[in-house]
Amino acid sequence: MKSCLIVDDSRVIRKVARQIFEAIGYSCTEAENGQTALDLCKTALPDFVLLDWNMPVMNGLDFLHGFRKLPGGDVPNVVFCTTENDLEHIQEALGAGANEYIMKPFDADIIRGKLEQLGLLES
Amino acid sequence: MKPEDFELFSTLVKQRSGLILTPEKAYLLESRLFPVARKHNLKSLEDMAQAVRARREEPLLLDITEAMTTNESFFFRDQKPFVLFQQKLLLYLLSARKEKKHIRIWSAAASSGQEAYSLAMICLEEAAKFQGWKIEIVGTDLSREMVARARAGIYSQFEVQRGLPVTHLVKYFQQIAGDKWQIKENLRQMVQFREGNLLTNVGVEGVFDIVFCRNVLIYFDGPTKTRILDTISQMMYKDSFLILGGAETVLGISDKFKVVPGAHGLYIGQDSTYEL
């Protein structure tokens, strides 16, 4: 089973995202900020990361920089999922190695669509 | 809704667009027609039915027809037809049309334009192969309002995330407000949108190399499907391509086309020798 790490400081968002990913066969772990997430990744790398931008302690962008430097950290798909919805943020995220970008609010269709584009889900 | 009112609206919509509304779609009719009633200062659908019977005024009839024709659309919908377009059909035409260097693509029932713009994006991605070529993309739709939307090329944050890779968003759109994105000028200039009705006046002239007519036939009865496919076949070359939606087929409906083995949704003229 593929694993998904959901990083968001909102418990509600994590719950919604978990339901979507579990429905398509992912096992999910959750982290409430970038630092916790990075610590988890040092033990075991997930196959996929759904990543909020604005979080206390460590934000999503700093997490991504650290994550991509981990051994094997260049492989998993990292998809931002954030209320930051301007072109500058999107470009910054892509520049830092994000594979896709979701602007909140999102729904299951948007997540599934992005997974299809990344080749992780059959259309 | 009274049965006689449903009958009236569904007959009107059938005559105007060919769309068949079965009684179990009554809820859809109600939810879509209330805004039209409000716009025309009619208090209820019953009043609107009466107005239709009494006056048959064109603006009201047109609004009713438009409200009932479905408009669900997103970028790169179903993915596979677009992969086929990029990897097979364009390459075939690159060699088959190398003398005239001209390709014409028709997005029939273009809705708010996502399909036509998706095709234009692919053409831009492949532009290096087609230097000196003229690629025309035309989208037609029954609905005035949809044609205007498609021409403007403005989409909500929700719409630009459905099916569209973020790299394409960055490359081909400009953000015009917090949650509104507009297709960039260069891409908009590649596509023309016109009003057209597949049953009466299709809105385009000439012959096309590729016709996308997806998720249109499903709304029509057998004889109407045959008629639409006849019309389209008259606007294609011997070796042109027709792409239908995943739930649609020409089998048992038209003898003008045949399937291409191995390519779901792709159809060619009876005399074409194309194979994958």
- Tell me what the mean pLDDT of segment B223-238 comes to: 96
- Tell me what the mean pLDDT of segment B227-240 comes to: 96
CB burial of residue B67 (10 Å; 0-12, 13-18, 19+): buried
Q: Are B21 and B29 in contact (CB under 8 A)?
A: yes
Domain at A2-117: CATH code: 3.40.50.2300
Provide ipTM, 2 decimals.
Answer: 0.91
All residues of chain B having their beta carbon less than 8 Å from the beta carbon of residue A95 are: none
CB contact under 8 A, B165 and A86: no
Please name the member of A87, A91, A110 whose beta carbon is closest to the beta carbon of B161: A110
Q: Does A83 touch chain B (CB under 8 A)?
A: no
Q: Does A109 touch chain B (CB under 8 A)?
A: yes
Q: Does B156 touch chain A (CB under 8 A)?
A: no
Residue B71: the pLDDT is 56
All residues of chain A having their beta carbon less than 8 Å from the beta carbon of residue B163 are: 113, 117
B225: alpha, beta or left, given left = phi > 0 and alpha = psi -120 to 50? alpha
Q: Does B163 touch chain A (CB under 8 A)?
A: yes
Q: Does B264 touch chain A (CB under 8 A)?
A: no
Please name the member of B79, B158, B170 whose beta carbon is closest to the beta carbon of A91: B170
Q: Does B176 touch chain A (CB under 8 A)?
A: no
CB contact under 8 A, A116 and B162: no
Q: Does B258 touch chain A (CB under 8 A)?
A: no
Whether residue B27 has pLDDT greater than 80? no
Whether residue B72 has pLDDT greater than 70? no
- Tell me what the mean pLDDT of segment B8-25 comes to: 82
Tokens in use for A63? 């997490």
pLDDT band at B250 (very low <50, low <70, confident <90, very high): very high
Query: Which residue ranges make up each domain of chain A?
Result: 2-117
Measured between alpha carbons, how far is B90 from B209 in angstroms, rounded to an integer? 10
Q: Are B68 and B17 in contact (CB under 8 A)?
A: yes
- Tell me what the mean pLDDT of segment B65-78 comes to: 76
Residue B14: the pLDDT is 85
The C-alpha of B119 sits at a distance from chain A's nearest C-alpha, in angstroms, of: 16
Please name the member of A94, A103, A123 whose beta carbon is closest to the beta carbon of B80: A123
Please name the member of B79, B165, B170 whose beta carbon is closest to the beta carbon of A87: B170
All residues of chain B having their beta carbon less than 8 Å from the beta carbon of residue A86 are: 175, 178
Whether residue B269 has pLDDT greater than 90? yes
Q: Closest residue of B to A99, CA-based?
A: B166
CB contact under 8 A, B170 and A85: no
Q: Does A19 touch chain B (CB under 8 A)?
A: no
Whether residue B48 has pLDDT greater than 80? yes
pLDDT band at B264 (very low <50, low <70, confident <90, very high): confident
Whether residue B22 has pLDDT greater than 80? no
- Tell me what the mean pLDDT of segment B81-98 comes to: 97
Residues 69-88 of B with CB under 8 A from A: 74, 78-80
CATH class of domain segment(s) B3-68: mainly alpha
All residues of chain B having their beta carbon less than 8 Å from the beta carbon of residue A101 are: 166
Nearest 5°: CA angle at B85, between A108 and B209?
Answer: 135
Query: Which residue ranges make up each domain of chain B?
Result: 3-68, 80-269
Please name the member of B74, B79, B178 whose beta carbon is closest to the beta carbon of A85: B178
| Superfamily name with CATH number, domain B80-269 | Vaccinia Virus protein VP39 (3.40.50.150)
Give the C-alpha distances (Å, rounded to integers) separating A62 from A6, A57, A93, B53. Answer: 16, 10, 10, 66
The 10s digit of each residue's pLDDT in B158-195 is: 889 988 999 999 999 999 988 899 999 999 999 999 99
Residue B70: the pLDDT is 58
Per-residue pLDDT 10s for chain A (123 aa) are: 999 999 999 999 999 999 999 999 999 999 999 999 999 999 999 999 999 999 999 999 999 999 999 999 999 999 999 999 999 999 999 999 999 999 998 888 889 889 988 989 876
Measured between alpha carbons, how far is B37 from A70 in angstroms, rounded to an integer? 61
Whether residue B98 has pLDDT greater than 60? yes
Residue B220: the pLDDT is 87
CB contact under 8 A, A106 and B162: no
Q: Residue holding tokens 């994105």?
A: B181
Judged by DSSP in three states, B165 sits in coil
Residue B34: the pLDDT is 84
Q: Closest residue of A to B83, CA-based?
A: A117
- Tell me what the mean pLDDT of segment B132-143 comes to: 96
